[in-house]
Amino acid sequence: MAFGTVKSTNQQEATVRTAVCPGSFDPVTNGHLDVFARASKMADHVTIAVMVNQTKQSLFTLDERLDFIRSCTTHLPNVTVDTFSGLLVDWCRGHEVRHVIKGLRAMSDFDYELQMAQLNYDLAGVETAFVSTNPQYSYLSSSMVKEVAQYGGDVSALVPDVVRLALQARYSASKEA
């Protein structure tokens, strides 16, 4: 199954088969997992591309972030996980992927997401499709999850168990230090 069909000038149809869901995923949340599951139904193959960010301090290492996502997407056979650094469009070029799928939580996301989508299209003809986030997760972000967990709040409805346990371990270790 494919999520789109592109008609070239001679009207031949080219089926869109691969897509990428990019992000920092520090850590992955139930909102992200909902987007991955929906993206997996829209394209034949989806890569979750975790950004390696040299400037932004992340709570979890790249390997931890990858492991969380891998362990929570085993039920999605057409989804794989990769990393990228630098421009997303360069990763897309290198992997011949021309479609990005992202979740849109609220209008407050829209301006920035639209700018990125327009830029990525201008830079490399990479198209972006948005899925409307499940309203249950419309307020959910990795930063909020970290803040709640840091102060001992219950994040069990917000993140998968593997992440909840890792957050608990990380913040209890930092209290002891």
**Computed from CA positions of residues 169, 24, 101, 40, in that sequence, does the dihedral angle turn out positive or negative?**
negative
**Computed from CA positions of residues 114, 134, 58, 43, in that sequence, does the dihedral angle turn out positive or negative?**
negative
Write down the catalytic residue from 65, 98, 99, 105.
105
Interface residue with ligand PNS among 22, 31, 103, 160 (CB under 6 A) is 22
Interface residue with ligand PNS among 43, 46, 51, 155 (CB under 6 A) is 51
For ligand PNS, the closer of residues 15 and 53 by Cβ is 53
- Secondary structure (3-state) at 80: strand
| C-alpha–C-alpha distance, residues 109 and 125, integer Å | 22
Write down the catalytic residue from 32, 65, 102, 164.
32
For residues 65 and 176, the answer to whether their CB atoms sit within 8 Å is: no
Q: How far is the CB of 15 from ligand PNS (least distance, A)?
A: 25
Q: Is 27 a binder of ligand PNS (CB under 6 A)? A: no
User: Please, where are the H alpha helices in 29-154?
Assistant: 30-42, 62-72, 88-95, 107-124, 142-150
Q: Single out the segment in contact with ligand PNS by CB under 6 A; choices: 16-24, 73-81, 151-159, 165-173.
A: 16-24
Query: Which residue's structure tokens are 């997303």?
Result: 88
Write down the catalytic residue from 58, 65, 142, 146.
142
Residue nearest to ligand PNS (CB): 23
Q: Is 31 a binder of ligand PNS (CB under 6 A)? A: no
Q: Which residues bind ligand PNS (CB under 6 A)?
A: 22-24, 51, 87-88, 116, 119-120
